[in-house]
Structure 1
Amino acid sequence: MEEFVNESQLVDYGDSNIITLEGLEHVRRRPGMYIGKLGDGSHVDDGIYVLLKEVLDNCIDEYRMGAGKAIDVRVQDGHVEVRDFGRGIPLGKMVEAVSIMNTGGKYDSKAFKKSVGLNGVGTKAVNALSSTFVVQSFRDGQSRKAEFQKGKLVSDSDIFADNTERGTLIYFVPDNTLFENYLYKEDYIETMLRNYAYLNTGLTINFNGKKILSKNGLTDLLNENITAQPLYPIIHLKGEDIEIAFTHSDQYGEEYYSFVNGQHTTQGGTHQSAFREAVARTIKEFYSKNMEVGDIRNGIIAAVAISVEEPIFESQTKTKLGSRDMAKDGVSVNKFISDFLKKELDNYLHRNSETANILLQKIQDSEKERKAIAGVTKLARERAKKVNLHNKKLRDCRVHFNDSLTKDDAKNAAIHNSCIFITEGDSASGSITKSRDVNTQAVFSLRGKPLNSYGLTKKIVYENEEFNLLQAALNIEEGVENLRYNKVIVATDADVDGMHIRLLLITFFLQFFPDLIKKGHVYILQTPLFRVRNKKETFYCYSEEERLASMAKVGSNPEITRFKGLGEISPDEFKHFIGKDMRLDQVTLKKEDAVQDLLSFYMGKNTSERQNFIIDNLVVEEDV
C-alpha cells in the first residue's frame, strides 16, 4: 500500500539549498572522508595520528626520491613540528600546494615515482583540521613562510633570502574543537616512525631527541614484533620494488605486516593476499608434496613491502591496497609477487637445507594436529552453521568491519565503529542489549567462566561450544582479515570474578588468535564503580578518587550507589557508558611482555607458586 505525503509537510528545496563549499571547508564538514574517525588520541587509528602520518608521507616520498637522509619530528603538548631535508616545496606554488584541493606534484610521475600520496589531499586535510598550520619551504638559498588557521590563510611572507639547508618545515596544532581533549601518545608515534625506518634503511628519524633507524629492514621489524620464539632464522628476500621477510613459530594462526610505498596497510589488500597465496604455493612446490595451504601458513609471521606506481587504496587513510596491477609496468601484483617468491624463496630453501628441514617439520606437525581434530572440527562447523541464524548468544548489529567501504562518509564511520561486547551472563548482556546502538554494536553472552585454555591445543576451540561460537561470531577461524568487528570489547563486572573472566578471555585470544591483540582489536570496557548524586546533579565515578571528588562537588548528604555488576546498571544509564563517552582500555602486546612466561606463571599448573606470590603481595584494607 502506498504512503502519501502531505505536500504542506515537505521542506522547501530550491536554489538557495545548493551550496558550494569554499576552499577546505568540505574537509572540516566531512573530516571522516579524509582521516577516518576524529578521536582523542587514545587509539592508534585516531585522526591526530593520521594528520601526522599525512605530513610524514610527504617527507618519506622525498627520501625515496633520493632527497635528504633525515627527518626531524617533535611532538610536545599537542604541537607537532616535522622538518625534512628534501627538495622543498616549489616556492611559487607553496601556498596552493597546502591549501587547494587536488593540487600537488605527485600527479606528475616524473617528479614523484612510487609515492604514497597521489591525490593531492593529505596536507590540505591537515591544514583544514588544524587550529594553526605553518608551512615554510627552504630552496636554492631562498625561503617562504605561510600561516593558516582552520584552513584559512592569515599570513604569507614574500620570498626572501635564506641559506638554511633545503627542505620543508610543517608545524601544526590539531583543532581541539574537532579533536576534543586530544593527547598524543609517544608510544603510538614511535611505532609509526619505526615502521617508516624499517622500510627505508639509511633514513634517520629524530623524534623528540631519540634517533630511530634500521640497518636490516623488515628483519628488524619482525624481530621487534615477534612475541613467540621463531623456529628458524628469518628468511629475508629483497628485490627491485619488493622486500619480504618471514619465519614460523609455534603460535596459532597467521600474522602479517604489509606495506605499499612505505605505507602500513593495516587491513592488508591485494599485495597481502597475493603473498599468502604465493608463499604457500612456492613452499608446496619446493617439497613436491600434497600439502594443505593452511598447514603451510599456520604459525607464519611475515612482512611484505612493495612499491607500486599510482597505487589505488580503498580509502583516503590508505589502510588497504586495492590495486591489482603494478600500474605502468602492466604486471599484476599477484604475478609480480608470485614470480619473485618462486625464484628467490625456492633458491633460498635449496641453499639453506637446515631451515628447509625445520620448516617441513613445522608443516607436518600442523598437518598431524589438523587431522587429529578433523572430526571435531567438522562437527563444530556444522553446529556453528546451524545456530548462525538463531544464535542465542549473539545479538548481532547491522554494520560490520568486513563490509566494503563506500563513498558514504557515515557508512564508513559505522564500519570503523563496529564492535562486539563479550559479557558474562544474561543480566549484563540484557542491559547492554537494550541500550546499545543496533547499527554498530553487537553483544555476545557467555554462560559463565570460560575454560582456561592455556597449554591446550586448538582442538579445544572446536570442542568447547562457547569458544567455537565466539570464533564463528568474530569470523576469525581463517585469520583476522575478515574480522566482523573492529573492536572486540570484554565487558565484565568490576569484581574478582569479572577480572578472572577477563583474564581467561585474554588467555584464549593470546593462545589461539594473538594477531587479534597485536592488531589492536581487543579492549576492556570500563564501567563506573559508583554513582554520586543529589537532586540536581549526578556523577558516575570510575575510581575512589573520582568518588571523593564528586562528593565534594555535590555537597552534604549525597546519595552514593556502589555498582557491583553490570546487570545492576539500568539500560537508561548504561547507554551513557557505551556511547560517545565510552571508556575503553586497549589490550596491547609487545615483545618485552614475555607472553609465554606470563601465561605460564599466571595460567599454568604452578598453583602453589602462585599462592605464595599472592600471600607475599597481599594488601589488606588497613594498609591501603
Structure 2
Amino acid sequence: MAKKSQEYGNDSIQSLKGADRVRKRPGVIFGSDGIEGCEHSIFEILSNSIDEAREGHGDRIVITKYADHSVEVEDFGRGIPVDYNNNEKKYNWELVFCELYAGGKYRTNEGESYEFSLGLNGLGLCATQYASEYMDVEIFRDGFQYNLRFEKGENVGGLQKQEVKKKRTGTRIRWKPDLDVFTDVDVPDEYYTEILKRQAVVNAGLRFVLRIQNGGGFDEQEFLYEEGIVDYVKEIAQDTFLTPIQNWSGERKGRDRQDKPEYKVKLQVACCFSNRVKLIEYYHNSSHLEHGGSPERAVKQAFVSQIDAYLKQTGKYLKNESKISFVDVEECLILVSSSFSTQTSYENQTKKAITNKFIYECMTEFLKHQLEIYFIENPDDAAKVAEQVLINKRSRENAEKTRLNIKKKLAGTIDLANRVQKFVDCRTRDTSRREIYIVEGDSALGSCKMGRDAEFQAIIPVRGKILNCLKAEYGKIFKNDIITDIIKVLGCGVEVKSKANKDLASFDLEGLRWNKIVICTDADVDGFQIRTLILTMLYTLTPTLIEQGYVFIAESPLYEINSKGETYFAYTEAEKAAILEKIGKNKYSIQRSKGLGENEPDMMWLTTMNPETRRLIKVTPDDAKATSEMFDLLLGENLPGRKEFIAQNGYLYLDAADVS
C-alpha cells in the first residue's frame, strides 16, 4: 500500500529567513554547492577589493590561503563603511554583512561611487558571510579601527570600534567556507593563481600578492601587468606575431531598449594575428566571461564582416568560393576584450556571460570601424591577415572533405560481402549474437569458414602484417586497405585523439555490428606479432571497444596430445605437464599444434570457435593500457627505451629467437 503523503495546505508554505536563505540553498547564489560554488564565494570578496582599487583607492591586494582552508583578503582602499546609517536607520555593517541586496553600488546615476563595478547586486559579501563557518572583519577608516565577528551567519559581539593614530585605510576579511554549506572547501592553489592572473590582466597596474601557507611559512607570488591586456597579448604571442598588437579603446552611451535608462560603456580590445598561436578571452567589469555573451557575438560579427569585405574588395576569393567563417579567423587571432558598463545584465549571478543588447551593438560598430581603419592604414598587415584566414578556411574545408570521404569509406551497410574482400558474413542480424573473427591469412579463413557456426559467426582475414598504427600518421593509416576493411566491417567508425585530426573522428558505438570481436592467430611468433598489430589498431582507432569489453583473443592450443583414442589440448606448458601426469604410463603421442590453416574444420570448431569448448581472453582496459605501453616501447619511437628493455630482458627470449 502506498504511503500517504503529508497534507499540502496553506500552512505548508514557508520562507527561508536570515542566513538560511544562503546556507540551505547555496547553489542559487553561487551556482553550485560544490567546489565551484566555494570558489565563487571567494571571488565575491575579492571583487569588492578590486572595485575599490579600480576607483583609485589602493594599488595592492593581498590574498592569503591558509592550511585550514580559511581565506583572507586584504586591501588598502577606503575601508567598508560600517557605522550608523541615518537614511536606513541601521548600522551599515548590518546592511552589508547581513542583508542581501544591500550595498554601495546601486546609485551610480546619481554620482555615487563605483561607476564601473564587478559586483552590482549587493549579494556577494553577505552571501559569503552567511556561507562561512566564521568570518573576522577588520576595517580602518576615518581614524578608527572597526572589528566584527560572525559565526555560521550570526554576528557575535556586535561592532567593536576604537580610535587609532595610524592613517591607514582598508579592509581585511578572514573567513572559513563552511562544510555544512559546501560539499567541498579544499580550493586548489591553481584556482587562486588563475583568478589573480586574470584580474591582473584586466586591472592594469594593480598588484596582487598571493600567499599560500606551507608548513610554518608562506609561499608568495605576485601578479602585475603594468599595461594590462596589451602586456598579456604580448606575453601570449611572444615571437609569433603575424601583425603588431593593436590597442583600441573608446566609450559609448546607449540603452538596451528605448524605455530603459541610458548607461555608459567603456571598451578596450587588444589583438594581433599569429599563424602559430590563438587565444580569445572576454572580460566585463573585471569578470572573466567564460561563456562570452554580447562581446563574443560582437567580435564574431565584426571580424567576419570586415575581413570578408576586404577579401571581396581585393578579389582574393576564388571563383564561386564560399565565405569565410569565424572558425577561420579565430585560428590565427589573439584577442583580449575588457569592457565596463554602468549597467550590466548577467546570465546569472556567477557572471559567466552578459546579455546587454547595447553592448553588443556598440562593440560591433566599434570593432568594425577600428578594423576598417586598420586595414586602410596598414595594407601589408591586411594582406597578411587575409592570406592566413584563407589558408585556414581552405585547410578546414579540405579536412572536412577528407573526413567525409573517410567516413564514407569506413561506413557501409550490413551487406558488406561484395565491398570487403574475402569477408564472410553470418546469417543473423541480431547484434547481441553476432561474432566477427579476425583471422590470420587465407588458409585460416578456409578452415574457420568450414568450422564455424554460420548462423552467428563471421570471418574477415588479415592478409599479411598490417600497418603499425603507433608509428603511422592518420592519413597513411586510412590508406591501408586492411585497416579500412576491418573498420568497415566493425561499422562503428573511428576515434581520433589528435586535435590536429579531430575532424576525422566518426565513432558511434550504436553502429557496431558485433557482440564479440575475436582476434584469432597462430600460436607462434608471426601470429603473436599479427595479433599485436591488430590490438594496436583497435587500441588506437577504437579504444572504446576495448573499454566496453567487446574485444577478445581466441587462445590456440600449443600442443595436441593423443593417448588411448583420446585427444587432449594443452594451451600452456603447465597444462601439458598436467595432462602427461594424468595419462601416467600410458602410451601417448605429442606434437606442436598445427597452424589454424592446417586444422580440420571439426578441430577448428572444437578448439577455437565452439562457445562451449573454446577459450576466449577478454581484453580489459588495464590489459589495453599495459599492452599499449609495451607496444609503444617495442614498436614506437622510444629507441633508447627499447634498447634498455632488450638489454635487461633479451635473455628471456633467446630460446624463441630465430637466429639460425
TM-score strictly above 0.5: yes
- How far apart in 1 are the matches of 2:639 and 2:113? 66
Q: CA RMSD in A?
A: 4.3
Number of aligned positions between the proteins: 427
- How far apart in 1 are the matches of 2:135 and 2:194? 24
1:296-445 equivalence runs, <5 A? 296-324=329-357, 332-372=358-398, 375=401
Q: Specify whether residues 13 and 211 from structure 1 end up closer, same or farther in structure 2 by C-alpha distance, changes over 3 A only.
A: same
- Of 19-28 and 159-168, the range deviating more from structure 2: 159-168
Structure 2 residue corresponding to 1:34, chosen from 29, 40, 46: 29
- How far apart in 1 are the matches of 2:241 and 2:508? 27
Match of 1:79 in 2: 70
Query: Does residue 15 of structure 2 align to residue 25 of structure 1?
Result: no
Deviations 1:399-453 (A, max 9, x none): xxxxxxxxxxxxxxxxxxxxxxxxxxxxxxxxxxxxxxxxxxxxxx995974564
Query: Does residue 231 of structure 2 align to residue 205 of structure 1?
Result: no
- How far apart in 1 are the matches of 2:365 and 2:202? 22
SS at match of 1:285: helix
Match of 2:231 in 1: 220
Match of 2:298 in 1: 274
Q: CA deviation at 1:65?
A: 1.5
Match of 2:604 in 1: none
One-letter amino acid matched to 2:158: D
Query: Does residue 287 of structure 2 align to residue 263 of structure 1?
Result: yes
Q: Specify whether residues 180 and 30 from structure 1 end up closer, same or farther in structure 2 by C-alpha distance, changes over 3 A only.
A: closer
Match of 1:131 in 2: 133
Structure 2 residue corresponding to 1:62, chosen from 38, 41, 52: 52
- Of 239-248 and 359-368, the range deviating more from structure 2: 239-248
Deviations 1:475-520 (A, max 9, x none): xxxxxxxxxxxxxxxxxxxxx99999999899xxxxxxxxxxxxxx
Which structure is richer in relative contact order (CA contacts within 8 A, separation 6 or more)? 1
- How far apart in 2 are the matches of 1:504 and 1:251? 28
Match of 1:235 in 2: 246
1:478-493 equivalence runs, <5 A? none
**Conserved in 2, the CA contact under 8 Å of 1:87 and 1:167?**
yes
- Of 70-79 and 160-169, the range deviating more from structure 2: 160-169
Query: Does residue 103 of structure 2 align to residue 104 of structure 1?
Result: yes
Q: Specify whether residues 450 and 204 from structure 1 end up closer, same or farther in structure 2 by C-alpha distance, changes over 3 A only.
A: same
Q: Specify whether residues 466 and 20 from structure 1 end up closer, same or farther in structure 2 by C-alpha distance, changes over 3 A only.
A: closer
**Conserved in 2, the CA contact under 8 Å of 1:280 and 1:297?**
no
Deviations 1:515-570 (A, max 9, x none): xxxxxxxxx9xxxxxxxxxxxxxxxxxxxxxxxxxxxxxxxxxxxxxx984699xx
Match of 1:492 in 2: none
**Conserved in 2, the CA contact under 8 Å of 1:91 and 1:143?**
no
Query: Does residue 247 of structure 2 align to residue 245 of structure 1?
Result: no
**Conserved in 1, the CA contact under 8 Å of 2:493 and 2:506?**
no
Q: CA deviation at 1:278?
A: 1.1
Q: Specify whether residues 380 and 86 from structure 1 end up closer, same or farther in structure 2 by C-alpha distance, changes over 3 A only.
A: farther
SS at match of 1:466: coil
Query: Does residue 645 of structure 2 align to residue 612 of structure 1?
Result: no
SS at match of 1:159: strand
Structure 1 gaps, min length 5: 41-45, 325-331, 393-444, 471-495, 507-523, 525-562, 569-602
**Conserved in 2, the CA contact under 8 Å of 1:142 and 1:160?**
yes
SS at match of 1:20: coil
Q: CA deviation at 1:102?
A: 1.1
One-letter amino acid matched to 1:166: T
SS at match of 1:314: coil
Q: Given the two structures, how large is their TM-score scaled by the length of structure 2?
A: 0.57
Deviations 1:341-371 (A, max 9, x none): 2232333333444432321220121233245
Match of 2:118 in 1: 116
Match of 1:90 in 2: 81
- How far apart in 1 are the matches of 2:409 and 2:359? 38
Match of 1:403 in 2: none
1:497-576 equivalence runs, <5 A? 565=620
Structure 1 residue corresponding to 2:158, chosen from 156, 159, 162: 156
SS at match of 1:363: helix
Q: Specify whether residues 174 and 358 from structure 1 end up closer, same or farther in structure 2 by C-alpha distance, changes over 3 A only.
A: same
- How far apart in 1 are the matches of 2:70 and 2:45? 14
- How far apart in 1 are the matches of 2:126 and 2:185? 20
Q: CA deviation at 1:249?
A: 4.2
**Conserved in 2, the CA contact under 8 Å of 1:446 and 1:466?**
no
- How far apart in 1 are the matches of 2:542 and 2:535? 11
Q: CA deviation at 1:285?
A: 3.0
- How far apart in 2 are the matches of 1:128 and 1:502? 51
**Conserved in 1, the CA contact under 8 Å of 2:492 and 2:510?**
no
Query: Does residue 42 of structure 2 align to residue 52 of structure 1?
Result: yes
**Conserved in 2, the CA contact under 8 Å of 1:116 and 1:261?**
yes
Query: Does residue 284 of structure 2 align to residue 284 of structure 1?
Result: no
Query: Does residue 56 of structure 2 align to residue 14 of structure 1?
Result: no
Deviations 1:29-49 (A, max 9, x none): 111111122334xxxxx2222
Task: Name which one, 1 or 2, has greater alpha-carbon Rg.
Answer: 2
**Conserved in 2, the CA contact under 8 Å of 1:91 and 1:159?**
no
Deviations 1:253-277 (A, max 9, x none): x742111100001111111111111
**Conserved in 1, the CA contact under 8 Å of 2:407 and 2:506?**
no
Structure 2 gaps, min length 5: 84-91, 212-219, 252-265, 318-322, 414-430, 432-489, 512-532, 548-617, 624-630, 650-660
Deviations 1:207-256 (A, max 9, x none): 1132211023223334555699554444332334112123344469x742
SS at match of 1:126: helix
Q: Specify whether residues 59 and 467 from structure 1 end up closer, same or farther in structure 2 by C-alpha distance, changes over 3 A only.
A: farther
**Conserved in 2, the CA contact under 8 Å of 1:83 and 1:167?**
yes
One-letter amino acid matched to 2:106: Y
**Conserved in 1, the CA contact under 8 Å of 2:248 and 2:268?**
yes
- Of 53-62 and 277-286, the range deviating more from structure 2: 277-286
- How far apart in 1 are the matches of 2:307 and 2:509? 30
One-letter amino acid matched to 2:176: V
- How far apart in 1 are the matches of 2:647 and 2:149? 56
Structure 1 residue corresponding to 2:198, chosen from 189, 195, 198: 195
- How far apart in 2 are the matches of 1:234 and 1:450? 38
- How far apart in 2 are the matches of 1:505 and 1:101? 53
- How far apart in 1 are the matches of 2:195 and 2:224? 12
**Conserved in 1, the CA contact under 8 Å of 2:26 and 2:181?**
no
**Conserved in 2, the CA contact under 8 Å of 1:245 and 1:302?**
yes
- How far apart in 2 are the matches of 1:176 and 1:68? 33
**Conserved in 1, the CA contact under 8 Å of 2:204 and 2:229?**
no
Q: CA deviation at 1:337?
A: 1.1
Q: CA deviation at 1:375?
A: 4.9
Q: CA deviation at 1:168?
A: 1.4
Q: CA deviation at 1:195?
A: 0.7
- How far apart in 2 are the matches of 1:225 and 1:50? 26
- How far apart in 2 are the matches of 1:65 and 1:344? 28
SS at match of 1:307: strand
Q: Specify whether residues 73 and 343 from structure 1 end up closer, same or farther in structure 2 by C-alpha distance, changes over 3 A only.
A: same
One-letter amino acid matched to 1:238: S
